[in-house]
């Protein structure tokens, strides 16, 4: 939910919205839509043999698309009345539906129009478990737990639990059918119920992920000691998994248990971990056992037996009313695919219930997605590749993977993608994929993200891979809630120093902190270069003197300027890691830098970024051009030294620092700041809220 100053911020952003789509997606669609040739109305109680008029509507979107394909040239409209439309087969929109020759296509819904990949669970389908299963349950839950056979939902493949986690995208499988009750995914039965536990002594580290030895990685995993009275019960489980981190803090893993050895008090994993099992204490390895029949103990917990095509559930409520809202995500997805089309507008629809993604776009032009809600699925919300698309006023909430992915433009020529997200909301995504599944992922050139809200994500909010991105006037709150060493806006571009030119400006970052590790606001990681971070307001970022707000991690020509840091213990750190702990990585970096400068299009980018022309001859250990200037730090407690700048692996003189001030966070200081002529409206709004709660 959006409350208080957050809703005010969004309204302000709407009022100040700047049209940046110079390519004119909206104008194109409106122009093609003038004088709509034909309109088809669809309703869940319609008839696909009817005419499709308001009086005799169609029943399915696919039939309406078939009519649109067969129409003569001219713009067309498909209008979905309120109601749920079960989508068992992807609705494909192609060149035959929308093109310069055929005309534009507008698909929009009445309030309450839902495209669903869910299969509802019949109320009478819940039964008592069989006697053998009952014996494996804890005695105290046996009278509560109910069973569901997937056969009660009809035919189809429910899939299976599969390996997932850090750096495993190449082996990614479609998520299985998952149980939702009243729009909430039921958690896997796990132990412990709260928090996690540490693995014991490493007996066998197992294989690491090496490109030419992938088969070995998936054939078997490592072994660690674990002394628990639960081992005997776990040894009886047929599909037991672990959910946690066994290596570096960012290497989250969902790995199947290959063997539980009760006598040796050990657990062997079925697959390898990316860096093997690591035992260094500072890495803080931790895990929980997951999908354990014997560990059903909390209302809402579910255990899946995909081989037996059934599940068991400890009902989330004592009354039976929850049964009315029980459904399984079933259609593999996507629900809508736009491929090769030109001139499509999708508006005012709700999509959910797919096992994987919801909307997919490929090689399409002049596409607008407005006021669409995506969520309650196991994969991504929207995936657009090589497609000109504008997202406006959309909401991505509860997507199991990324909320949206925008891939476009040409890095060799710096041709912009013509992709944007404006006034969108991203909330509680990546609940299934968890790590390196940002709310919004950008690849390519020139995507613009403006006036959006990002809240409550386990890892990063935005990940950027490419050139010339613009991130402006967005709100970021409670990001990286599940993992450490991460930022709300995250760049990791140092292997290619020609990937630069992005700007992060006039945004609001709030409440990104935790006592158990660093979560920052803007992270320019691993020698990322040429990014401007300016005019932002940062509040309550980090909880200790070592918790930075903006990290410039070794890259040159990064500029952090004219920002306001309110109650942030360490506003900015410049860490020349290649001069310290990363010194042995320099040769490998230099090989990749040489390849980047020899790549097609290097000359174009050197012309666009003249500061990069001397890169190969510059000091790579202490890259130049780092600026920290005109920033204001306001602290309710002790003010950070050097007006908020800390340098590691070098000296303060290696950063161009000037015009920065540090003041107590008093009402007078806030009033003076509000009077500054160059302060953005969004910053004024947030500072006013700070005053109102004091």
CATH number at residue 232: 2.40.30
Q: Which two tokens stand for residue 137?
A: 């349950």
Let me know if residue 211 belongs to a domain: yes
Task: Name 41's Cβ contacts closer than 8 Å, sequence gap at least 6.
Answer: 52, 53, 54, 57, 58, 79, 81
Let me know if residue 693 belongs to a domain: no
- One domain for residues 431 and 574: yes
Distance in angstroms (rounded) separating the CA atoms of residues 612 and 624: 11
Q: Cite the beta strand spans of 451-563 per DSSP E.
A: 453-457, 462-467, 470-472, 475-479, 486-492, 502-505, 508-512, 519-525, 531-534, 537-541, 548-552, 559-561
In this model, does residue 25 exceed pLDDT 70? no
Q: Which two tokens stand for residue 46?
A: 């319609």
Q: Which position has the higher pLDDT, 683 or 494? A: 494
Query: What is the tens place of the pLDDT at every residue in 169-200?
Result: 777 899 999 999 999 999 999 999 999 999 99
pLDDT band of residue 544 (cuts 50, 70, 90) is confident
Let me know if residue 198 belongs to a domain: yes
What's residue 10's pLDDT?
43
In this model, does residue 592 exceed pLDDT 50? yes
In this model, does residue 694 exceed pLDDT 90? no
Let me know if residue 593 belongs to a domain: yes
146 exposure class (CB count in 10 Å sphere: 0-12, 13-18, 19+)? middle
DSSP secondary structure code for residue 51 in this structure = -
Let me know if residue 38 belongs to a domain: yes
> What average pLDDT does range 283-306 have in this prediction?
96
Structural domain boundaries enclosing 35:
4-113+331-688
Distance in angstroms (rounded) separating the CA atoms of residues 571 and 73: 58
pLDDT band of residue 636 (cuts 50, 70, 90) is confident
What's residue 493's pLDDT?
98
Angle between helices 681-692 and 667-674 (to 10 degrees): 160
pLDDT band of residue 689 (cuts 50, 70, 90) is confident
With beta carbons less than 8 A apart as the criterion, state whether 428 and 393 touch: no
With beta carbons less than 8 A apart as the criterion, state whether 481 and 431 touch: no
- One domain for residues 280 and 361: no
In the chain, what's the furthest Cα-to-Cα distance? 77
Q: Give the end-to-end CA distance of the chain in Å, rounded to a whole number.
A: 24
With beta carbons less than 8 A apart as the criterion, state whether 366 and 344 touch: yes
Q: Which two tokens stand for residue 25?
A: 């997606």
Query: What is the tens place of the pLDDT at every residue in 201-228?
Result: 999 999 999 888 888 899 999 999 999 9
Let me know if residue 605 belongs to a domain: yes
Q: Vertex 129, ends 123 and 134: CA angle to 5°?
A: 150
Task: Name 638's Cβ contacts closer than 8 Å, sequence gap at least 6.
Answer: none
SS (H, E, C) 418-461: CEEEECCEEECCCCCCCCCCCCEEEEEECCEEECCEEEEECCCC
Cα dihedral sign, 628-631-632-635? negative
- One domain for residues 253 and 323: no
- One domain for residues 270 and 338: no
- One domain for residues 359 and 467: yes
CATH number of domain containing 100:
2.160.20
Q: Considering its fold, how many domains does the chain have in total? A: 3
- One domain for residues 68 and 137: no
Distance in angstroms (rounded) separating the CA atoms of residues 265 and 281: 21
pTM over cut 0.85: yes
C-alpha closest to that of 247 among 193, 195, 207, 188: 207
- One domain for residues 533 and 579: yes
The number of beta carbons lying within 10 Å of the beta carbon of residue 132 is: 7
Distance in angstroms (rounded) separating the CA atoms of residues 555 and 533: 14
With beta carbons less than 8 A apart as the criterion, state whether 500 and 467 touch: yes
Minimum mean pLDDT range among 94-103, 325-334, 444-453, 516-525: 516-525
Sheet of 310-313, strand order: 146-149, 310-313, 302-305
With beta carbons less than 8 A apart as the criterion, state whether 404 and 432 touch: no
- One domain for residues 158 and 195: no
- One domain for residues 364 and 487: yes
Distance in angstroms (rounded) separating the CA atoms of residues 583 and 561: 29
Query: What is the tens place of the pLDDT at every residue in 603-615?
Result: 999 999 999 999 9
pLDDT band of residue 12 (cuts 50, 70, 90) is very low
Distance in angstroms (rounded) separating the CA atoms of residues 591 and 185: 46
Query: What is the tens place of the pLDDT at every residue in 245-277?
Result: 999 999 999 999 999 999 999 999 999 999 999
- One domain for residues 196 and 183: no
Cα dihedral sign, 161-162-164-170? negative
Mean pLDDT estimate for the chain = 92
Q: Which two tokens stand for residue 294?
A: 């014997």
Sheet of 91-94, strand order: 91-94, 336-339, 359-362, 382-385, 404-408, 440-445, 462-467, 486-492, 519-525, 548-552, 570-575, 645-648
Let me know if residue 220 belongs to a domain: yes
Distance in angstroms (rounded) separating the CA atoms of residues 59 and 48: 5
pLDDT band of residue 18 (cuts 50, 70, 90) is very low
Distance in angstroms (rounded) separating the CA atoms of residues 294 and 310: 16
The number of residues making up the chain comes to 694
DSSP SS3 for 69: helix
What's residue 638's pLDDT?
80
In this model, does residue 570 exceed pLDDT 90? yes
- One domain for residues 495 and 581: yes
- One domain for residues 52 and 158: no
C-alpha closest to that of 389 among 354, 357, 424, 355: 424
Distance in angstroms (rounded) separating the CA atoms of residues 161 and 176: 6
In this model, does residue 80 exceed pLDDT 60? yes
Distance in angstroms (rounded) separating the CA atoms of residues 139 and 572: 54
> What average pLDDT does range 360-385 have in this prediction?
98
Interstrand relation of 241-245 and 326-329 (parallel, antiparallel or unpaired) = unpaired
């Amino acid at each position: 939910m959006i409350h208080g100053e957050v809703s005010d911020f969004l309204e302000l952003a709407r009022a100040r919205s700047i049209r940046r789509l110079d390519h004119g997606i909206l104008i194109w669609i409106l122009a093609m839509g003038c004088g709509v040739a034909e309109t088809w109305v669809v309703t869940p109680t319609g008839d696909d043999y009817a005419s499709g008029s308001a009086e005799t509507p169609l029943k399915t979107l696919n039939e309406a698309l078939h009519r649109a394909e067969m129409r003569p040239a001219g713009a067309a409209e498909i209008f979905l009345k309120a109601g749920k439309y079960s989508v068992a087969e992807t609705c494909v929109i192609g060149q035959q539906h929308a093109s310069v020759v055929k005309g534009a296509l507008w698909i929009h819904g009445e309030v309450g129009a839902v495209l669903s990949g869910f299969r509802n669970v019949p109320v009478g389908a819940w039964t008592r478990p069989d006697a053998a299963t009952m014996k494996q349950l804890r005695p105290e839950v046996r009278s509560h737990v109910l069973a569901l056979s997937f056969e009660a939902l009809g035919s189809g493949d429910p899939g299976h639990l599969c390996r997932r986690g850090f750096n495993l995208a190449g082996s990614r499988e479609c998520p299985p059918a998952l149980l939702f009750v009243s729009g909430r995914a039921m958690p896997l039965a796990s132990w412990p119920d709260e928090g996690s536990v540490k693995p014991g002594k490493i007996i066998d580290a197992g294989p690491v992920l090496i490109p030419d030895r992938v088969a070995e990685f998936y054939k078997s995993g490592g072994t660690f000691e674990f002394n628990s009275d639960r081992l005997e019960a776990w040894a009886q489980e047929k599909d037991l998994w672990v959910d946690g981190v066994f290596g570096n803090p960012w290497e989250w893993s969902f790995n199947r248990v290959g063997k539980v050895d009760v006598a040796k008090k050990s657990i062997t994993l079925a697959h390898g971990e990316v860096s093997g099992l690591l035992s260094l204490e500072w890495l803080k390895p931790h895990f929980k056992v997951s999908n354990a029949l014997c560990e059903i103990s909390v209302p809402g917990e579910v255990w899946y037996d995909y081989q037996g095509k059934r599940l068991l559930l400890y009902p989330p409520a004592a009354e039976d009313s929850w049964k009315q809202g029980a459904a399984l995500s079933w259609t593999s997805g996507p629900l809508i695919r736009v491929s090769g089309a030109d001139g499509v507008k999708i508006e005012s629809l709700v999509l959910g219930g797919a096992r994987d993604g919801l909307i997919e776009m490929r090689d399409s032009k002049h596409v607008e997605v407005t006021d669409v809600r995506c969520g309650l699925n196991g994969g991504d919300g929207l995936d657009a590749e090589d497609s000109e698309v504008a997202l406006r006023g959309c909401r991505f909430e509860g997507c199991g993977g990324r909320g949206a992915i925008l891939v476009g433009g040409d890095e060799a020529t710096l041709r912009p993608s013509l992709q944007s997200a404006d006034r969108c909301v991203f909330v509680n995504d990546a609940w299934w994929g968890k790590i390196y599944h940002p709310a919004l992922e950008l690849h390519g050139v020139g995507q613009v993200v403006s006036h959006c809200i990002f809240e409550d994500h386990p890892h990063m909010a935005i990940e950027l891979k490419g050139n010339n991105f613009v991130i402006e006037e967005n709100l970021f709150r409670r990001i990286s809630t599940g993992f450490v060493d991460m930022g709300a806006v995250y760049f990791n571009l140092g292997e290619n120093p020609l990937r630069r030119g992005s700007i992060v400006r006039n945004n609001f970052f709030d409440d990104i902190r935790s006592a158990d590790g660093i979560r920052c606001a803007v992270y320019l990681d691993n020698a990322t270069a040429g990014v401007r971070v300016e005019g932002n307001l940062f509040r309550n970022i980090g909880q200790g003197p070592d918790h930075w707000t903006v990290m410039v991690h070794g890259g040159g020509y990064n500029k952090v300027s004219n920002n306001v840091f309110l109650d942030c213990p360490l506003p900015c750190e410049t860490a020349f890691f290649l001069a310290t702990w990363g010194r042995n990585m320099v040769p490998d970096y230099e090989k990749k830098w040489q390849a980047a400068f020899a790549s097609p299009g290097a000359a174009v980018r050197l012309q666009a970024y003249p500061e990069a022309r001397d890169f190969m001859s510059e000091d790579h250990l202490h890259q130049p051009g780092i600026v920290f200037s005109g920033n204001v730090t306001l602290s309710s407690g002790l003010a950070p030294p050097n007006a908020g700048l800390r340098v590691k692996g070098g000296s303060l003189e290696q950063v161009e620092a000037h015009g920065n001030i540090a003041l107590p966070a008093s009402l007078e200081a806030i009033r003076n700041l509000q009077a500054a002529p160059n302060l953005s409206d969004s910053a004024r709004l947030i500072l006013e809220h700070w005053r109102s709660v004091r």
